[in-house]
């Protein structure tokens, strides 16, 4: 047989995780000429698009329109989707090695980081990721419940996920009802009793991780005033010097400007308030079985040896009553059996996308990674395009050097047979399109983009309606 990469012996690649990272990796692989490459894109859910479907806030439909790019990739020759297939459960890494010349892990950062403070597990204290999954109809979070009949919610963290959850708590019922927010979440959020949403940043305004449009949006809510105490956004000397320097990041400079505008903005008497606070950390969550208040510590910024500023507890304390706390302090990855993992970073152990055999060892032939599980949970959706390009370029140069796997059963039918043998109810892209059409049809009478299915069983049933799904 000819070398892999020719029409009679294509390079077969399994991409694991159908979010942006998986689709961009697939696109780069399928676009590549003159090598003949085929891609099977797997996802543990019956639905593709990862965080675009399950993470992006429902009131940001424009961001979700990136799925059109992914649909074009899915329409390319040589692409197949296998939804509802769990790596580590339905198939193993060694199964993939038997069927593919290369594997690209793109399954993202699946879980949340913890604060590590007393009371974190009280009822009423949640990971923002769970709240996001719940309002986005992610099947894993369908049965979560949040007490939205409390007057004050506290959000920990100064990233864009914190802005998403703060906004979702402040949307009007009419705003919510235009979106594809899960029905169960609309019911809860529409009648919520929250009057104040307090967002705590452990460092100062010049260290916040918000991007400018997301921060600005918090000051433009229909039913929420924005509140910033001018004293809390006064800059320390180092931050001031940084912002005045030529090295200053434009986003940071603009964030500080926006926050200064917020601090001057008069209250308009809206029914809710979003309060942005800085140099504040939760020290302890208190309550009798359920969250009643958060003890907050005041921080000061201290310069580390590398010149960055860290938050240092001054010992000053205050207490804030609240019934809901969402920690939004970043995602982290979970490994998969048989692939080296960097526990500290929460990523697959890799060098620029080439998976390593083990710490300090060289690359493991045929294994690659891209997206959040490669580099950690940072950047916007588009960041994954460049990230995938780097990984795929390494894969291609390894292919040219003859350094991929030599699978025993590369025939495209063999993996399907294996899944059928194991009674895995996998969903093809046509199956997903049937789910998609059903969801859109459910939304139409209500003037909503879609009404999402929440249960995997419902999704599988809709997929079965498709020809060959
Ligand atoms: P992020 O941007 O990394 O922000 C995490 C925040 O948590 C930081 O402010 C961090 O502060 C804080 N933090 C970490 N540990 C903490 C602790 N123990 N106590 C208090 N605060 C703590 O993460 P993210 O918000 O989860 O977002 C993930 C990525 O998705 C980001 O790149 C984000 O831009 C992107 N995203 C984009 C959009 C959008 O474009 N609309 C929407 C959502 C998410 P320090 O800086 O002090 O560590």
**Alpha-carbon span 341 to 356, nearest angstrom:** 9
Ligand 1 centre to CA of 10 (Å) is 41
**Alpha-carbon span 254 to 231, nearest angstrom:** 18
CB-ligand 1 contact for 330 (6 Å cutoff): yes
Question: What pTM was estimated for this model as a whole?
Answer: 0.96
Q: Is the pLDDT of residue 465 over 90?
A: no
Ligand 1 centre to CA of 209 (Å) is 6
**Alpha-carbon span 73 to 2, nearest angstrom:** 27
pLDDT in tens, 100-158: 999 999 999 988 999 999 999 999 999 999 999 999 999 999 999 999 999 999 999 99
Token couple for 400: 């040219």
Ligand 1 centre to CA of 393 (Å) is 29
Provide the pLDDT for residue 391: 98
Percent residues over pLDDT 90 in the chain: 95
CB-ligand 1 contact for 165 (6 Å cutoff): no
Please report which confidence band the pLDDT of residue 33 belongs to, taking 50, 70 and 90 as the band edges.
confident
**Alpha-carbon span 96 to 88, nearest angstrom:** 11
Token couple for 177: 């009802």
Q: Is the pLDDT of residue 468 over 70?
A: no
pLDDT in tens, 353-403: 999 999 889 999 999 999 999 999 999 999 999 999 999 999 999 999 999
CB-ligand 1 contact for 380 (6 Å cutoff): yes
Please report where in the chains the tokens 């789910």 appear, as a residue.
Answer: 435
Ligand 1 centre to CA of 201 (Å) is 10
pLDDT in tens, 149-189: 999 999 999 999 999 999 999 999 999 999 999 999 999 99
Provide the pLDDT for residue 3: 75
Pocket test for ligand 1, best of 202, 295, 371 (most atoms within 8 A of CB): 202
**Alpha-carbon span 35 to 301, nearest angstrom:** 53
Please report which confidence band the pLDDT of residue 469 belongs to, taking 50, 70 and 90 as the band edges.
very low
Region 444-454 average pLDDT: 97
Q: Is the pLDDT of residue 466 over 60?
A: yes
Q: Is the pLDDT of residue 264 over 70?
A: yes
Find the helix packing angle between 429-443 and 456-464, rounded to 10°.
110
Region 9-32 average pLDDT: 97
Q: Is 360 or 24 the better-scoring residue by pLDDT?
A: 24
Q: What residue owns the CA closest to ligand 1's atom 14? A: 329
Ligand 1 centre to CA of 331 (Å) is 8
CB-ligand 1 contact for 192 (6 Å cutoff): no
Using DSSP's 3-state secondary structure scheme, residue 302 falls into strand
Ligand 1 centre to CA of 358 (Å) is 29
Provide the pLDDT for residue 1: 59
**Alpha-carbon span 351 to 361, nearest angstrom:** 10
**Mean model confidence pLDDT for the chain:** 96
Please say whether the beta carbons of 18 and 382 come within 8 A: no
């Amino acid at each position: 047989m000819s070398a892999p990469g020719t029409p009679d012996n294509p390079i077969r690649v399994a991409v694991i995780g159908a979010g942006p990272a998986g689709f961009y990796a697939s696109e780069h692989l399928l676009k590549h000429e003159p090598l003949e490459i085929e891609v099977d894109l797997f996802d543990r859910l019956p639905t593709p698009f990862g965080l675009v479907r399950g993470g992006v806030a429902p009131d940001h439909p424009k961001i979700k329109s990136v799925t059109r790019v992914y649909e074009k990739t899915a329409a390319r020759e040589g692409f197949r989707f296998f939804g509802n297939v769990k790596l580590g459960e339905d198939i193993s890494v060694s199964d993939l090695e038997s069927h593919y010349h290369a594997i690209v892990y793109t399954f993202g950062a699946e879980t949340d980081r913890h604060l590590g403070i007393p009371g974190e597990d009280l009822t009423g204290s949640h990971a923002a990721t769970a709240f996001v999954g719940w309002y986005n109809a992610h099947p894993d979070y369908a049965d979560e419940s949040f007490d939205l009949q409390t007057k004050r919610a506290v959000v920990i963290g100064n990233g864009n996920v914190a802005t998403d959850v703060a906004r979702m708590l402040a949307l009007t019922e009419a705003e919510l009802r235009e979106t594809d927010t899960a029905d169960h979440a609309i019911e809860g959020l529409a009648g919520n009793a929250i009057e104040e949403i307090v967002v705590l940043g452990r460092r100062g305004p010049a260290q916040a991780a918000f991007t400018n449009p997301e921060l600005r949006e918090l000051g433009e809510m229909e039913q929420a005033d924005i509140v910033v105490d001018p004293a809390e956004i006064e800059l320390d000397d180092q931050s001031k010097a940084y912002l005045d320097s030529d090295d200053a990041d434009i986003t940071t400079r603009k964030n500080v400007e926006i926050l200064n505008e917020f601090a001057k903005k008069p209250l308009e008497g809206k029914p809710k308030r979003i309060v942005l606070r800085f140099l504040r950390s939760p020290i302890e969550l208190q309550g009798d079985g359920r969250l009643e208040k958060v003890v907050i510590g005041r921080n000061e910024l201290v310069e580390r040896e590398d010149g960055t500023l860290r938050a240092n507890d001054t010992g000053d304390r205050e207490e804030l009553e609240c019934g809901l706390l969402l920690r939004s302090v970043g995602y982290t990855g979970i490994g998969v059996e048989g692939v080296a993992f960097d526990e500290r970073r929460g990523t697959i152990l890799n060098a620029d996308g080439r998976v390593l055999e083990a710490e300090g060892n060289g690359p493991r032939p045929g294994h690659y990674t891209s997206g959040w599980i490669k580099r950690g949970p940072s950047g916007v959706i588009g960041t994954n395009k460049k990230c995938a390009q780097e990984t795929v370029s390494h894969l291609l140069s390894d292919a040219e050097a003859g350094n991929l796997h030599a699978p025993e059963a590369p025939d495209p039918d063999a993996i399907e047979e294996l899944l059928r043998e194991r009674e895995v109810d996998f969903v093809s892209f046509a199956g997903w399109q049937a789910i998609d059409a059903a969801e859109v049809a459910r939304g139409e009478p209500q003037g909503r983009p879609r009404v999402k299915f929440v249960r995997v069983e419902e999704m599988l049933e809709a997929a079965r309606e498709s020809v060959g799904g």
